[in-house]
């Protein structure tokens, strides 16, 4: 039978860390927990769970999620690893090892469907690689970090559900996630000016953080649309900008009019599709 490691990165997660760890118990052979500086009861709660599966490490936070994740990967013992956030749980009905064993030959990653529960009880979902061959990948990016293959391509399979609660309104406010994400997205962009994924997230995080225009002006953030060729990334960025300027459409149109014609045409076509 395949051996499976897991890891969790945490900081001040006293409300959810126990449920996250316990949801892994029936699935994995070790649970690596990397704490990046908790000041609440998180550490005591982890230590109160008496299990040889748990290995607790302390990592000094350096404003870089990839750095913490790569450290966690360096502690993993087995060929396959699954990672969940400290505010997530794995649904019990899935047998993770059976999913690995039944995967087509050449599969090196499993992309669970992450179901995010919002404040109004609505569920939003997306798939990303969370279970993968340890030696095939590393993480890149200060925030919205990307699982990056060393050599091979990601051959992904989706068969698992993970429940995520970390973006309820009270959690976002208490942890100041919006400011943190924006500033780290700004670091991503400054380090790699041509990565369209990070440009998209810089725009999205700019729209969500209320004081972001103190760092980047609206006209400058709109100009970054010109660097996005990926249609899906472009649509997500426009969606975010439209949401921020929902009550200021005149301002939105005025700034858009200053962009080059190809970008304006692409944006207008997308907006017209949304209005149909």
- Kindly give the confidence (pLDDT) of every residue in the chain, 276 residues in length, as a single tens digit, with 9 standing for 90 and above: 799 999 999 999 999 999 999 999 999 999 999 999 999 999 999 999 999 999 999 999 999 999 999 999 999 999 999 999 999 999 877 789 999 998 888 889 999 888 877 655 556 678 889 999 999 999 999 999 999 999 877 877 776 778 887 555 555 455 578 899 999 999 999 888 889 999 999 999 999 998 999 999 999 999 999 999 999 999 999 999 998 988 788 888 888 888 888 887 778 777 655 555
Q: What global pTM score does this model have?
A: 0.82
Residues 46 and 54: their CA atoms lie apart, in Å, by: 8
- In this predicted structure, what is the pLDDT of residue 174? 54
pLDDT confidence of residue 39: 97
Question: Would the CA dihedral through 13, 187, 172, 87 be positive or negative?
Answer: negative
Res 104: pLDDT: 87
**154 burial via Cβ count (<10 Å: 0-12, 13-18, 19+):** middle
Instruction: Quote the pLDDT of residue 265.
Output: 79
Q: In what order do the strands lie in the sheet with 4-10?
A: 54-58, 30-35, 4-10, 80-83, 131-133, 109-110, 156-157
pLDDT at 122: 58
pLDDT for the residue 192: 83
* β pairing state of 30-35 and 4-10: parallel
């Amino acid at each position: 039978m395949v051996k499976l490691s897991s890891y969790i990165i945490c900081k001040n997660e006293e409300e959810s860390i126990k449920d996250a760890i316990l949801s892994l118990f029936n699935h994995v052979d070790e649970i690596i927990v990397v704490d990046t500086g908790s000041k609440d009861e998180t550490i005591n709660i982890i230590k109160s769970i008496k299990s040889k599966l748990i290995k607790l490490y302390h990592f000094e936070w350096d404003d870089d999620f990839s750095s913490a994740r790569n450290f966690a990967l360096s502690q993993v013992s087995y060929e396959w690893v699954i990672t969940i956030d400290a505010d997530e749980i794995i649904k019990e009905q899935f047998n993770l090892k059976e999913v690995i064993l039944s995967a087509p030959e050449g599969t090196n990653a499993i992309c669970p469907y992450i179901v995010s529960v919002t404040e109004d009880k609505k569920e939003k979902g997306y798939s990303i690689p969370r279970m993968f061959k340890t030696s095939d990948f590393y993480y890149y990016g200060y925030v919205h970090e990307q699982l990056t293959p060393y050599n091979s391509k990601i051959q992904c399979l989706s068969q698992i559900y993970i429940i995520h609660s970390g973006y309820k309104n009270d959690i976002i406010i208490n942890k100041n996630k919006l400011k943190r994400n924006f500033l780290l997205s700004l670091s991503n962009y400054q380090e790699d000016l041509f990565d369209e994924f990070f440009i998209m997230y810089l725009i999205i995080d700019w729209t969500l953080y209320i004081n972001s225009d103190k760092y980047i002006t609206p006209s400058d953030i709109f100009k970054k649309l010109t660097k996005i060729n990926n249609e899906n990334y472009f649509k997500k960025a426009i969606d975010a900008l439209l949401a921020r300027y929902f009550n200021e459409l005149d301002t939105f149109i005025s700034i858009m009019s200053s962009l080059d014609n190809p970008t304006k045409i692409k944006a207008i076509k997308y907006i017209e599709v949304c209005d149909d």
